[in-house]
Amino acid sequence: MTARETAASVRSGSVAALEVVEAALDAARRLDPLLHFVEELDAEGARRAAERLEPTGALAGVPFLIKARTPPESPILERLVTAGAIPIGWATRARPGAVSLTFGWNGREYTRNPWDPERSPGGSTAGGAAAVAAGVVPLATGGDSGGSLRIPTAFCGIVGFKGTYGRVPRPGGRGLGGLTTAGVIGADLDDVVLATSIASGPHRLDPSALPHWPVPTEPTRRWRVAYFSTLGACPAEEGVDRVLRERLAATDVQVVDVPLKLAPTDEAWPVLSALDNGRGAEAAAANRAREIRDHNNRALADLFAEVDVLVTPTTLTVAHGYDQHEQSIVTGDPCWVFNVTGHPAVSVPAGLSNGLPVGMQVVAPHGADAVALAAARQLQADLSAPPISTTCK
């Protein structure tokens, strides 16, 4: 069931929250030895929460996983729990100091992809993506400063949404570099939208966050789409590009040929990341990063004057090997562009290439999160469950 269906069943009394939680814990215990997505389960805490739950919230009884090392006071956790969601533990993320962050690590094993256990689920929200794709939980939390919500959802064939910068408050407030957005990943687009709405709005720890974002009434029309197979120097794999072009051709959208010239992100992102993480930056480097951000915002504003949304591959490749963690892997280039600019971007499954999911990234103007989501809803492809999942014996 979706998170919304689960919550409706708990609210109606047709299923007990404890029963839902026990099913999720059982699935985690069965599949984690294959996929290594759990850093730590909190079975007793989840059971206690289920037993004392007042089944009235929008997410009543919905089990979810928390991204490892998320501060316990995070507004997103507080608000999901207040809405009735029940955390069952912490999911893996990239190993500290790793060369590449598109992996997960539980301290002993690298996290695997339920589509192919020889592949990585991506990162850094690795464990959450693997668990959601495998059907263990319908939702997981994460953060996105360079694609950490979108890259793993593309690799795992599910949904990741990075709202306009500031859409979801963060425990440390607004970062100096303005890169990181908290958010939710899920198996169902409507679940992700609902959870994002619940988590949105100013908080005492982040009073400068954007106003509360109600679940939008998404516009419907024939979307004008600009498609770019890459936004940087590295091309997308032929199979990835082919899947996206075929998906665009199969849906009722108008693909418009418009120019887009972006300044390279690789010069600005490290400087902004340093500022976000309290490391400081040279004044000249910070000014250059601001110039790049301003240039790209102007270029994208010109693009969005001609089209409704920009579509790219979420990742330039399908999931890579789980054991390539010491390599510098270029796959998420289309993602970090929109952390620097702060645009809303959602990744949805577009199909399969050689049996592995391909993610489609849909980007809209600042504040037009509902437009990105509405276009993504029309463009997304339905995928079957992966080979390793709760539906497979």
- Give CA–CA dist 142/392, Å, rounded: 27
Active-site residue identified among 9, 67, 74, 200: 67
**Rounded to 10 degrees, what is the CA torsion of 127, 128, 129, 133?**
100
Q: Is residue 120 annotated as a catalytic residue, yes or no?
A: no
The two tokens of residue 308 are: 């409704």
Q: Is residue 67 annotated as a catalytic residue, yes or no?
A: yes
**Selection from 286, 275, 288, 268 nearest residue 175 by Cα:** 275
Backbone angles phi, psi at 26, to 5 degrees: -65, -45
The two tokens of residue 94 are: 């990239």
On whether the CB atoms of residues 317 and 331 are closer than 8 A, the answer is: yes
Active-site residue identified among 9, 74, 100, 148: 148
On whether the CB atoms of residues 192 and 186 are closer than 8 A, the answer is: yes
CA 81, distance to chain mean position in Å, is: 19
Backbone angles phi, psi at 36, to 5 degrees: 55, 50
Q: Are strands 139-144 and 181-186 parallel, antiparallel or unpaired?
A: antiparallel
**Selection from 333, 315, 80, 107 nearest residue 183 by Cα:** 80
Q: Is residue 100 annotated as a catalytic residue, yes or no?
A: no
Active-site residue identified among 124, 197, 347, 353: 124
On whether the CB atoms of residues 1 and 59 are closer than 8 A, the answer is: no
Q: Counting beta carbons within 10 angstroms of the beta carbon of residue 380, is it exposed (0 to 12), middle (13 to 18) or buried (19 or more)?
A: buried
On whether the CB atoms of residues 76 and 141 are closer than 8 A, the answer is: yes
**Rounded to 10 degrees, what is the CA torsion of 328, 363, 71, 55?**
-130
Which sequence positions are flagged as catalytic? 67, 124, 148
